Structure 1
Amino acid sequence: MGVIGTNAVLIRAVGAIVVFFVARFLYRGYVQRSRVRALKAQGIPVLPHSLLFGHLSVLGDWRADNPSDANFYTFHTWLIKNCKRYFPDLDFPPPVVYLDIWPIDVSFAIVFDPITASQFAQAPSLPKMSLVREFLDPFTAGRDMVSSEGKEWKTWRSRFSHGFSQRNLLAMLPELIEEVSIFVSQLGELAGTGGEWGPVFQLEEKTTNLTFDIICRATLGMRLNEQLRAESSPLKFALLDQIRVMNHGTNAARALPLGRMPWHKAAARRNNNMLRDFMMPQIQSKLKSTSNDSQVKTILDLAIRYIDKDDPNGSRETPNAEYIETLIANLKIFGHDTTASTVCFMLKRMQDHPDCLAKVRAEHDAVLGPDPDKVVDVLAQSPHLLYSLPYTLSVIKETLRLHPLAATLRESTPGFSLTAPGSSMRYPTDGWGLWVVRSRCLATPRLLAAADEFIPGAMDGARGRHHAPALIELRIISVLVARRFDIEEAWDKWDALQGSKVNPNDRINGERLYAAGNGIVHPKDGMPVHVVLA
């Protein structure tokens, strides 16, 4: 066979491969579109659907109505607000809303009803969606307990659960208060006096540094001092850059999402090496230590306590490399980002609701004494008082309802369907990613008439469990900050500093502060604020 013949064979082979992938691509699209037609045939309410574009036009409507940096989590609240636009006969979206956004790889069955959500998030608990693993893959390579299932998930969860017990958290309280006290001191340096507001600054930058310090202390038992550094530590640099890389994965908010490029993968390897180099000395030190007398048990302490049981091919003296990599992966997921954002939104909610702030301050006066400067001493003598602030806890939980830390994403299994209270309708799930954002799931009019209003205590009985480290951090911040400072958004000052870099018309529901970012939620522009002594 000559050169021409060889080239012809090669061209035909390449052409066949291209045809195969194009055909498979189009077939998947046909199957996905057909699923929606089948839903309509069963009488299930669906969003206006196009055989060619699916629900991409609905996604386009959301994008057109919102700032370009709006987080996809805002889609749920936007759909509730625009319910009549797409479901003219309904005042609230159906229990399950299907969103067909092919050619994006995943299409969603968005669940708005909590009873319906419990059918796949509690019993039975369906497998986690591949999107979660893909998002975390550059960070943990699938070794972490968020990505894992079954026995592996149970094992690592049980190793860490004791660290979040009330007893262990109270033992850790002096260290946590020490870190929050630095945060309070920095707010004091920026606060105006005599009724005058201080300079504008980005609150999220301060809360991020604080949560880095707290997480490092709680997981590794070491001082990071991120709040006192002039430049970011290698740990902070690597973690923030890794989140940037992770956000380059699948993003349902983009009509034509681009995956991670080779340079993103190279950055992920570099960041993981930096994180490993930072953690390994502390891990090695803990492995060599024979003392177990400390009352405070860090995440690392709890993990290596069971190393002989969890690492059958190694021991405390010579741990298996695979075990070490899994340990590092699980240490990395105790991240800072969500908690830092929640602190911002909690302080915003108290700013926007002075009556709630007044109740918080009154509760702190009654339980912790009238002098805010003595709170640290009071808690040192009676740390249990931190758990005797029911209204403060309600404020925290209401913040988490309206600004949730995470969503639940699950894979369906063949033949699995959902039902809703008061209806015989069955909602098929084959081929759909099940998605429930807890704030919206708890916002059905059946449960709370004013679902989008901030009403501490109104939903306490209906809420699920929250991340324990976040709760104690938020409690400490509230008791050390609420009575000392008034904190207010300062957009006019921020706009003056940024000039043409900002668009004052970027708003959601009239608010300049909204959930922004491609992946993990961040407050818009880091929440510019100014502070005055209360």
Structure 2
Amino acid sequence: MDKAVWARDLVEIAASRSFFRALPQPPHDLLWGHLKIIGEVAATFPPNTHPQHFYTAIAQKYNLKGIFYIDLWPIGPSSVVLNDPSVSEQVTVAHPLRQHKMVDEFLAPILGHDVIAAANGATWKKLHNAMSPAFSWSHIRNLTGVIAEEGMHFRDTLNELARVEGVFSMEETAMKLIFDVITRIVFNFSLNAQTKGSSTLDDLREMVHLAENQLSFNPFVHLVTFFKRRSVLGRLHPSILQKIRERLALLRSGNIVPSRRDPESILDLMLRDHVKDDVNMKGAGISDLPPEYTEILLTNIKGLLVGGHGTTTDTLCYIYMLLAKTPEVVRKLREEHTRVFDKDFKETMDLVLQSPAKLEELEYTAAVIKETLRLFPVGFGVREAEAGQVINHECFTIHMLTHDDRMKVNFNGQSYPIDNGLCVALNAHAVQYDPENFADPAEFKPERWIEEEIPRSHFRTFGRGSRACLGLNLAQNELKIILLMTIRDYDFECANLKPNEKPRTCYTKLDTVYGDIVFQELGLEAKPRGGMMMKVKKVGIFI
């Protein structure tokens, strides 16, 4: 019996490993696949580094252009990694692939099934159609006052931190600001995380931490996580349901059908179809909603709150980190803010509120934001292909093969398989650190976005095509307003920096300036390492 089991296991290993034969890849071991390679690369980085850094290091070390394969069986899913913008365009824009099922499997324990980031098909289309008006440019401009109001609380916090001259976590501080903004966009009211603290934010962050525990191989960790998750959801779900219930009752009692042109909140948009029907409006509470839609509401409200503050918080942290060591960039930002608006803070804010479109004149500020997002993308998307789909490496087209044709594919030729259960990993990090796409890719050079003609396909932080991040314009506008409200009045300093004497990896030297904080940690996204500890002081000129 034991011999039979061993024989079966050997056959399974051989079958799995043979698929990768003659495909572009780092050195492949018949027994270990690429597990040793991943282990060796991971060992060169600090603990818990996001794997986008590993894939970029592998691509550059082994000169793997366009596409390569990573065999992680049986520890994890094997991947085909796309690290060329032209290849990536084919599976996101020309022939969009669906989200991989592992995205839903990872997010479901904390958010629920069919969150918009993981949904496919009709479910995704319905959610996208419902939410998209809230992310139109006209509506984003209408949110300028919301962002500015929450930004004033952020300034109050910075003033106090500057007064005590202590070290603080920029991640935690910025997180409360961005969370208050997103809750006002989702619910039309703030949860006051900055001024009073928010148990909802605390519970959501605990859920994110528990999600990260899912990556552990320790069964005891999974057991503890299961019971902790039940406890947190027991608090979180009733709180969110109550907010949904109150808003639905208000809409029904006032016979209000939310506007798609200028919605008061994303929740209103998601409830719109239910309150515009006179029959539904006769109901008295949340129980009148179909149970399955109540679940979708819960799932996607949680998804918006988590996703809506994560990326923007991370990016703001890295902007302040980069500015702490680049005084010339700070000088140019201050000059632009004074030139486009006013040297006086109050006059500046009056102009912002009167003419939100003037924010589009902040060309250099926009360049700083994009350059930061280029250097610190928030992770990679994972898609999956249908059986028989391949990529043609020469002209970067995707096409279907019949079963018979598939058996005759020449893996040394032009076509490369992207099915067979593979995760199609869209590694924006590698694209944005490739010297063929960006000159001096490890340098923080905002000017490149003004002085050079950079193809849109080369900037992939928010994804591309129909599945690109809905909130990308909102995030960039938030960051413009926050920078306008802070850069002239405060100087930021990274605390406890320990620059590396020599670079850890081949694609960047930023760690010789900032230390290991440039290597993002693996979380729900690629997040700041160690909370981004900083100090702040008032400049004093414009206060």
TM superposition score category, shorter chain reference: 0.7 to 0.9
Within a 5 Å distance, the mapping from 1:385-400 to structure 2 comes to: 385-400=358-373
Gaps of 5+ in 1: 1-14, 496-502
Distance in 2 separating the partners of 1:106 and 1:299: 35
Tell me the residue number matched to 1:249: 214
Query: Are the structure 2 counterparts of residues 342 and 280 from structure 1 closer, same or farther at C-alpha, using a change threshold of 3 Å?
Result: same
Q: Does 1:126 align with 2:131?
A: no
- Give the TM-score taking structure 1 as reference length: 0.83
Contact 2:171 2:528 in 1 (8 A): yes
Tell me how far 1:504 sits from its aligned partner.
11
- Give the TM-score taking structure 2 as reference length: 0.82
Query: Are the structure 2 counterparts of residues 420 and 488 from structure 1 closer, same or farther at C-alpha, using a change threshold of 3 Å?
Result: farther
Contact 1:160 1:302 in 2 (8 A): yes
Contact 1:135 1:247 in 2 (8 A): no
Whichever residue aligns with residue 171 of structure 2, its letter is E
Tell me the residue number matched to 2:434: 444
- Mean Cα deviation higher: 178-187 or 421-430: 421-430
Tell me how far 1:55 sits from its aligned partner.
0.7
Q: Does 1:479 align with 2:444?
A: no
Distance in 2 separating the partners of 1:420 and 1:357: 43
Tell me how far 1:518 sits from its aligned partner.
4.2
What is the CA deviation profile of residues 126-156 of structure 1, one whole-angstrom value per residue up to 9, with x for unaligned ones? 1211221111011233121122111110111
Within a 5 Å distance, the mapping from 1:391-410 to structure 2 comes to: 391-410=364-383
Distance in 2 separating the partners of 1:349 and 1:137: 35
Tell me the residue number matched to 1:323: 293
Whichever residue aligns with residue 307 of structure 1, its letter is H
Tell me how far 1:161 sits from its aligned partner.
0.7
Whichever residue aligns with residue 321 of structure 1, its letter is P
Within a 5 Å distance, the mapping from 1:219-368 to structure 2 comes to: 219-229=186-196, 232-250=197-215, 261-289=222-250, 290=254, 291=256, 297-307=264-274, 317=284, 318-334=288-304, 335=306, 336-368=309-341
Whichever residue aligns with residue 35 of structure 1, its letter is F
Whichever residue aligns with residue 426 of structure 1, its letter is S
- Mean Cα deviation higher: 518-527 or 298-307: 518-527
- Mean Cα deviation higher: 330-339 or 505-514: 505-514
From 98, 107, 132, the counterpart of 1:136: 107
Contact 1:249 1:259 in 2 (8 A): no
Query: Are the structure 2 counterparts of residues 218 and 518 from structure 1 closer, same or farther at C-alpha, using a change threshold of 3 Å?
Result: closer
State how many pairs are aligned. Answer: 487
Tell me the residue number matched to 2:403: none
What is the CA deviation profile of residues 21-60 of structure 1, one whole-angstrom value per residue up to 9, with x for unaligned ones? x8876654332211122xx2xxx43211111111111111
Distance in 2 separating the partners of 1:412 and 1:437: 16
Q: Does 1:95 align with 2:56?
A: no
Whichever residue aligns with residue 50 of structure 1, its letter is D
Tell me the residue number matched to 2:58: 79
Query: Are the structure 2 counterparts of residues 19 and 478 from structure 1 closer, same or farther at C-alpha, using a change threshold of 3 Å?
Result: farther
SS of the counterpart of 1:227? coil
Tell me how far 1:160 sits from its aligned partner.
0.7
What is the CA deviation profile of residues 351-378 of structure 1, one whole-angstrom value per residue up to 9, with x for unaligned ones? 3332222222111111111123432222
Tell me the residue number matched to 1:526: 531
Query: Are the structure 2 counterparts of residues 516 and 507 from structure 1 closer, same or farther at C-alpha, using a change threshold of 3 Å?
Result: farther
Tell me the residue number matched to 2:408: none
Tell me the residue number matched to 2:178: 211
- Mean Cα deviation higher: 149-158 or 314-323: 314-323
SS of the counterpart of 2:443? coil
From 408, 417, 421, the counterpart of 1:428: 417
From 190, 208, 233, the counterpart of 2:161: 190
- Mean Cα deviation higher: 23-32 or 514-523: 23-32
Distance in 1 separating the partners of 2:392 and 2:277: 40
Tell me how far 1:436 sits from its aligned partner.
1.3
Tell me how far 1:387 sits from its aligned partner.
2.4
Contact 1:419 1:426 in 2 (8 A): yes
Distance in 1 separating the partners of 2:191 and 2:170: 20
- Mean Cα deviation higher: 517-526 or 105-114: 517-526
Tell me how far 1:248 sits from its aligned partner.
2.6
Whichever residue aligns with residue 413 of structure 1, its letter is E
Q: CA RMSD in A?
A: 3.2
What is the CA deviation profile of residues 322-347 of structure 1, one whole-angstrom value per residue up to 9, with x for unaligned ones? 21110111111112222211110122
Q: Does 1:29 align with 2:13?
A: yes
Distance in 2 separating the partners of 1:70 and 1:435: 17
Gaps of 5+ in 2: 397-412, 506-510
What is the CA deviation profile of residues 444-487 of structure 1, one whole-angstrom value per residue up to 9, with x for unaligned ones? 33322222222221465423566233222211111101111111
Contact 2:258 2:268 in 1 (8 A): no
Tell me how far 1:408 sits from its aligned partner.
1.6
Contact 1:245 1:260 in 2 (8 A): no
Distance in 2 separating the partners of 1:419 and 1:277: 50
Percent of matched pairs sharing the same residue: 28
Whichever residue aligns with residue 393 of structure 2, its letter is A
Q: Does 1:383 align with 2:350?
A: no
Contact 2:114 2:123 in 1 (8 A): no
Distance in 1 separating the partners of 2:372 and 2:315: 7
Tell me the residue number matched to 1:500: none
Distance in 2 separating the partners of 1:311 and 1:63: 59
Contact 1:234 1:274 in 2 (8 A): no
Query: Are the structure 2 counterparts of residues 48 and 315 from structure 1 closer, same or farther at C-alpha, using a change threshold of 3 Å?
Result: farther
SS of the counterpart of 1:531? strand
Tell me the residue number matched to 1:411: 384
From 343, 358, 371, the counterpart of 1:370: 343
Contact 2:59 2:65 in 1 (8 A): no
